[in-house]
Chains A and B, each alone.
Chain A
Amino acid sequence: MILVWKLAYKNLIRAGLKTWLNALALSFAFVLIIFYNGMIDGWNMEARQDAVEWDYGYGHLRNAGYDPADPFSIQDGHGILPEPFRKDLTPVLVWQGTIYPQGRMMPVLIKGIEVNQETVKIPSEILKTSTAGYPVLLGRKMAESAGLKKGDPVLLRWRDKNGTFDAVEATVVGIFETNVPFVDGGQLWMSLKTLQEMTGLHDEASFYIANEAYVPEPIDGWTFIDQETLLKPVTDLINAKKYGAAIMYLLLLAIGLLVIFDTQAFAIFRRQKEIGTHIAMGMTKGEVIRMFTAEGAMYSIFAIVLGGLYGTPLFIYLAKNGISFPVSGDTMGIIIAPTIYSVYSAALIVKTFLLLVISATLVSLLATRKIATMNPVEALKGKAL
């Protein structure tokens, strides 16, 4: 067996430039697979972290009537959580309203949050220290679409729990930067107490954000959604992108494998006399097939080495400096940081290594199967095929 590998190695090295060109073609696929998956994994990791830090915390305890995906549920989806169950939870009340920036009408989701909270990154402490009558916070995207900046007054209109209209002039006391569109676009944050007074929903909340220490327990009229369930749509969306883009690098891999297949198929035709000689000297057909298959497999090893040589500095650079995107993801409604830092796990590298070696070996085996049907005498004459 060692002899087979030694011969295969010598044959490839002797082939010189041809070997390295084949390996280079395959190495592009290897580098691209690791690059793309590393970037997606980095995006996934950042998106999950952002979603947890800005909105999900360690889970949401939702009022049974509240469904964030259903605006119809806002009207009735709130309630009073008994005091003993409120430990390690940050209350949020969601209500509908309208703002009129520069005379334009914009429907908004008003979110009242406990100003002393530290569970999520919404800078609610600004609301506590502000002296404005109705201080509100906006995300950067929302501020841009409304044409508002810090210190601007904006007329806010809403209906209280009885359906009676009310309107006040609110003041934008802060604009926060976030990658999470579902705490930014079309939303306005204010003190929970102020919103409760405005709506007449005293002590009520639509949902609570759990912190790390929260221990879920069954509460009548409330449903706990754990962090992983909340994160599932984020991960599913990113994975969908991952599988969609796999077509691109699998195509490149297919080109690389086609090169190996062609090379091996041509090599068998060109090296018939060599095959005949090996058999005449006592090698079985199986051993000759294994030698040629080993050559194919070795292309993938060379490709990995070659890809490692130019890919490693690139991967290190991308992990340290990231890739910046000119268009912010929040305009597309997905969590995407302006700069994505690639993450390369050992599993990713091992999986890519195995994919490349196994596929190259199989392709090579397909090309060398003809040896099994060769007549050794005809092969020695170079007329077997």
Chain B
Amino acid sequence: MKLFILLLVPFLWAQSPDPYVILDRVDQNMLSTTKILEGKMIVYGKRNTRTITFRSYSEGIDKSFTEYLSPAREAGTKMLKLKDNLWIYSPAADRTIQISGHMLKQSVMGSDMSYEDMMEDRKLKDVYYATVKGEETVDGHACWILELNAKVKEVAYEKMKIWVDQQRYVPLREELYAKSGQLLKRAVFSDVQRFGSRWYPTKINYRDVLKKGKGTDFIVTRLKLDVIIDPYMFTKAALRR
């Protein structure tokens, strides 16, 4: 009898996995102590497409420093995020400005992502109740569909849906909803690659679904995880360097 129960446990877990365990596994996979990422952001506009390359350094979820490398118009622009604060350095004006209030609603370099979206850095399980709503295959990978409903008031999206790859614990799709249930934004993660012991999606398409267009692609061209980053990088002085 005991043997039967022991054999049944993994089967039951497979049938109804703990959503918080899944979120933990996703965090373990996606979050690293430090990260240096080089990539490009492709902004699909109505008339033209812009490609912006950048290099980003981050430590945990509180600290990040991004430098835009091209095109010439954006080259040298730097962005520093320390917890709830965001500063931008513009080389043309040689000034550092803090992005706050109304300005946080503006898009980052004309993309579908706002500064506010960038600022959201709390762990999902801290702000959402999670339930597994079912399973679905995305790009040939079996996924759990996790539905997240806000458990705190101060949250940008009342509801989220995440499709998590059952094998690699990587999100493959994400949908963000308004309080009314209206779908607002959709992120599609693809080109999942292995970096050491982790799986990481190297292409993300982020789209404001209320707006016409193909959204914005974030493509990772180089990724280094758990490397030593000079603490100076996460200071305001580094913006003018």
Contact count band on B: 20 to 34
User: Quick one: given A71-B102, A165-B178, A168-B180, are A100 and B157 in contact (CB under 8 Å)?
Assistant: no
- 20 sampled A-B residue pairs with Cβ under 8 A: A71-B102, A72-B101, A72-B102, A74-B102, A96-B102, A96-B105, A100-B211, A103-B212, A105-B208, A155-B210, A157-B178, A159-B156, A163-B156, A164-B155, A164-B179, A165-B158, A165-B179, A166-B179, A167-B180, A167-B210
Residues of A112-147 contacting chain B, CB below 8 A: none
Partner of A104, one of B157, B179, B211: B211
User: Do B100 and A72 touch across chains, with their CB atoms under 8 A apart?
Assistant: yes
Closest 10 CB pairs of A and B: A103-B212, A167-B182, A166-B179, A167-B178, A72-B101, A162-B153, A100-B210, A71-B102, A166-B178, A165-B178
Chain B residues with Cβ below 8 Å from A105 are 208, 210-211
A92–B156 alpha-carbon span in the complex (Å): 25
Partner of B180, one of A75, A104, A166: A166
User: Who on chain B is nearest to A200 by CB?
Assistant: B153
A96–B156 alpha-carbon span in the complex (Å): 15
User: Do B211 and A164 touch across chains, with their CB atoms under 8 A apart?
Assistant: no
User: Who on chain B is nearest to A75 by CB?
Assistant: B101
- The secondary-structure label for the interface of chain A is mixed
- Cβ of A160 within 8 Å of any chain B Cβ, yes or no, is yes
Chain A residues with Cβ below 8 Å from B157 are 164-165
- Cβ of A338 within 8 Å of any chain B Cβ, yes or no, is no
User: Do B102 and A75 touch across chains, with their CB atoms under 8 A apart?
Assistant: yes
Chain B residues close to A by CB (< 8 Å): 100-103, 105, 150, 153-158, 176, 178-180, 182, 184, 208, 210-213
- Cβ of A382 within 8 Å of any chain B Cβ, yes or no, is no
A75–B155 alpha-carbon span in the complex (Å): 16
A72–B102 alpha-carbon span in the complex (Å): 5
A96–B102 alpha-carbon span in the complex (Å): 9
- Cβ of A42 within 8 Å of any chain B Cβ, yes or no, is no
Question: Given A72-B103, A75-B102, A157-B178, list of 13 further CB < 8 A pairs?
Answer: A71-B101, A72-B101, A100-B210, A104-B211, A104-B212, A105-B211, A157-B210, A159-B156, A164-B155, A165-B156, A165-B178, A165-B184, A167-B178
Tell me how far the C-beta of B137 lies from the nearest C-beta in chain A, rounded to whole angstroms. Answer: 29
User: Do B105 and A107 touch across chains, with their CB atoms under 8 A apart?
Assistant: yes
User: Who on chain B is nearest to A160 by CB?
Assistant: B179
Tell me how far the C-beta of B15 lies from the nearest C-beta in chain A, rounded to whole angstroms. Answer: 33
